[in-house]
Amino acid sequence: MGKLVIVDECLVPRRYVWIYYKGEDPIGFLKNFRETLRFQFDVSSTRCWERKLLWDYTGDPIRFYNEWKTKKELSRFSTMWTDLRALGFVSKGKKDGDFSLEIYGEVKHEFEPSNWFTKYIWVLYNYLFYNKIREMQIKLCRDYLEKFMNWCKENYGMKTVTTPEAVIEELKEDELMEGLMRRTGMAPGTKRESEPEKEPETAESSPEVKQKAGEESAEPGAEEPKEEK
């Protein structure tokens, strides 16, 4: 038998929420991030993972990317998952910079029936009773995320944004992206390869002169005037 899986996103109608920080020592926020997540989401250290930590020291400012994941069991069938991704920049000299933190949460419900009868019993139970429990769990997940965002705003002066500003600034400053836009004709002041060049109009090549010349040549039986002697 297959497994029944239902996923409820906690931040509907939005899928993600971004909070933005700009100031001194943006890495300080991520140094004790594990303890912060344990305290805010009420999970143990075994339910909190740092999935990725990437650095790029080749330029100034330094680019960094950090990814975390938490897991919290809500019931026998339901688990709350939280994904957090940070992307930002740090200046080598002044040690200041900015980063955007992407927040996503979901409640996943899983049930693995042993036969068709237990599958139909669980579907009926979910329709009659467990839907109310799911609504309570989605609200609980949303409350956890909002509590975490409010804590970030109060302690670090972060603000909620509609787009990840650090990612946008990276695209603006990326020379490769700018070159790609110019090659594809997306940048202002550029011309696509398929667009032909237009010749400058002169008095002889203007549309009015060409139209008059065409009318004179199209008259049938026209004779050239004879010179009088």
Alpha helical stretches, state H, the chain: 28-31, 33-41, 116-125, 131-156, 165-173, 175-183, 207-217
- Extract the tokens encoding 55: 């650095």
- Asked whether the predicted pLDDT for residue 141 surpasses 80, the reply is yes
When pLDDT is cut at 50, 70 and 90, the band that residue 163 belongs to is low
CA distance 126 to 47: 27
| Section 7-21 average pLDDT | 90
Contact 160, 19 (CB under 8 A): yes
| DSSP at 124 | H
Q: What is the CA radius of gyration of the chain?
A: 32
Per-residue pLDDT at 82? 95
Alpha helical stretches, state H, 32-130: 33-41, 116-125
Buried/exposed code over 204-219 (b: 16+ C-beta within 10 A; e: otherwise): eeeeeeeeeeeeeeee
Per-residue pLDDT at 84? 93
Write down the domain spans for the chain: 4-176
- Asked whether the predicted pLDDT for residue 200 surpasses 70, the reply is no
- Asked whether the predicted pLDDT for residue 52 surpasses 90, the reply is no
Indicate the average pLDDT of the chain.
76
| Section 120-146 average pLDDT | 87
Per-residue pLDDT at 150? 93
- Extract the tokens encoding 214: 């065409």
